[in-house]
Every structure is written in C-alpha cells, then in structure tokens.
Amino acid sequence: MSDQADTPIVWSNKHLRLAVEAACVAMWSWNVEDNSFRMDPRGFELWGLPWAESVEFEQLSAHIHPADRDRVRAAFVATRSVAGPYEIDFRIILDGCVRWVSARGQGADEGIVDEVMFGVFLDVTGRKQAEEGNELLAGEMSHRVKNLLAIATSLTTLTSRSSKSIEDMTRDLTRRLTALGRAHDLVRPLPRSQGKAALLGDVITVLLAPYDDLGAFSGRVRVAVPRMGIGQRSANAFAMILHELATNSAKHGALSSEAGALEITGSMIDDHLELVWAETGGPQVDETPTLSGFGSKMAGQIVDTELNGAITYEWQQSGLVATVTARALRLPD
C-alpha cells in the first residue's frame, strides 16, 4: 500500500475557490475591533449591496427583517463568549422580497487572526420555504383530522338514535363516513401555490359514482354545474347532503329503477349557488312523502348552518326535484 493514501490532500486557493463557488457560499470576515465587515462579491450580491472595501454592521443590519434585527445583533455579540461553531438563520429584505440567510462561524474567538473572525453566509431561502410549507401542511392536516373526528362523533351519536338495530346503524354510519372520506380525499391540503379547493363538479361526480357504476345502469347520472372551487367544510356539507339524497333515491326513487336517471344542474343567482337535483324515470309518485327521517333533518340542518342556504323538495310524477341553495361566500371554507 502506498504511503500516499495516508497523506492529506493539499488544496490550492484555486481549488478552494471552485469548491466555495460550487456550494454558493459567501465568505465574510469581521474585525471585532472596529466592527467592520468584509465580504467576497457573492456576499455583496446576497445582501444587495454595491461592492466596497468593507461595510459597517449597521449597513447590513438595515437589510435585516425588523423582527430578527435585535436577535441577530445579540447573537453576533454573543459569539465572542460562546465556544465552538455557531449558526443563526435570519431574514433579510431586498426590494420588498424576503430571503433567508444562514450565518456560520466559530465562537469564543476561535480561529481569530489579528482580531479578525471568519465565517460564511448561505442563502437558505428554499429550505426555509419548504419547512414553512411542511409546517403549514402539518397544521392543516391536524385541523382537518380534528374536524373529521368531531363530525364522525356527531354522526355516530345521531345515527345511533335513529337506527332500529345495530346492523342498521353499522350500515348507515359506514355509508355516511365513506361519503365524508370521498369529499376529504378531493380537498386534501396542497402547497400554497396550488391552492386547497376542489372543483364542485368533481366532488359531485365522485360522490355519486357508486350509484352510476352499475353495469347496465351506467351513465344515468349527469352533472352540469359551474366550474368553481369549494373548500373542505363545504365539501363535507355537500357530501352529507348528496349522500342522503342518493340513499333515498336508491331506495325509493329514480336510482332504484333501471329506467331511472338523475340530473344535477347548477347556476349562480346573485350571490348564491343553486343546485337542482332532478330525478326522472323512477317509480311514480302518487302522494307527497313525509320528510321526518334523521337523514332529511340532518341535510336541512347542514345546508342552513354550513352553507348558509336552504333545501326545498318538490315531488313531481316523474320523480323528486330538490333545490339546494348555498351562499357563494361560504363555499371556499
């Protein structure tokens, strides 16, 4: 084995400069006696300053975010007495835009040469934005999970009161929770640049897909609504309302018949969205049914409290026509 393997590599200044440039590192020196900074060209570019032989700390401080300024000043003063490597991240403002900078060096005058300390600046804006995005998504997920658990608890309690047997409760509760799950999947958290709303038409189509994908019955559900986004809260509300309407239709209405069809249309009227649920081809309606079940009461309550709207029913001979109105300002929630 050659002794060269144990010999440390000696890097030339050119090699070190290439490595620094490849890492996008800005180098700085701080004279602790006169409080002046010197930086390489990348450092001046990072801080948005014209090149100069040296700059005062206050010149740099003027670009630091006001909320971070005192913290950064205290941290730099503390480096004189804190041993070992240090790192501090802070925000700077350039042309109205916020960028994150990481300052790194050695504390307690370690490595000081002629009263001059050395370190580097790194632009860590991308990393910080990713961290903020992850924190936002985690908080959003936590909030939504809590909301879903609260809704599930309420549904369990109410369904138990309206069910005649454990089997009925299990079936009805499972279906209602499944409808909530479909709505939640469509409005899952996304990065801020992509928004967090799902299209109303997609929500309706997905929720009603189980009633349309029935072999010979396929294609009997038609959806034509405005192209608009709705948030998690509104999606949950529509999930419950459409589930109850579809369940009743599958039991007694158009979706219980091979010849039955369902058409959902929508339009904006002033500051309200109007959805029309129209069934045709189902069993003939000879008399107006009485809406006294839990599902119907729940649907009416949800429209009122969650959508700031109303639901009306009209039984024609061809089938049920239900009209749901919702205030447009509530839909992004």
Give the CATH number of domain 129-330.
3.30.565.10
The CATH architecture of the domain made up of 3-123 is 2-Layer Sandwich (3.30)
Residue 254, Ramachandran bin (φ over 0: left; ψ between -120 and 50: alpha; else beta) = alpha
Dihedral, CA atoms, 220, 227, 207, 244, nearest 10 degrees?
A: -90
**Does residue 118 contact residue 137 with C-beta atoms inside 8 Å?**
no
Q: Domain coordinates of the chain in residue numbers?
A: 3-123, 129-330
**Does residue 121 contact residue 26 with C-beta atoms inside 8 Å?**
yes
User: Do the domains at 3-123 and 129-330 have one common CATH topology?
Assistant: no
What is the full per-residue pLDDT of the chain (333 aa) written as tens digits?
455 556 667 777 777 777 777 777 888 888 877 878 889 888 888 888 888 888 888 888 889 999 898 898 888 778 777 777 888 899 999 888 889 999 888 876 666 677 788 888 988 888 888 887 777 667 656 655 665 566 566 557 656 766 778 887 787 777 667 766 666 666 554 444 444 567 888 888 877 776 665 444 457 888 899 888 888 778 878 877 887 888 778 777 887 777 888 999 999 888 889 999 999 888 877 776 666 566 677 778 888 888 888 888 888 877 889 999 988 877 776
The answer to whether the pTM exceeds 0.75 is: no
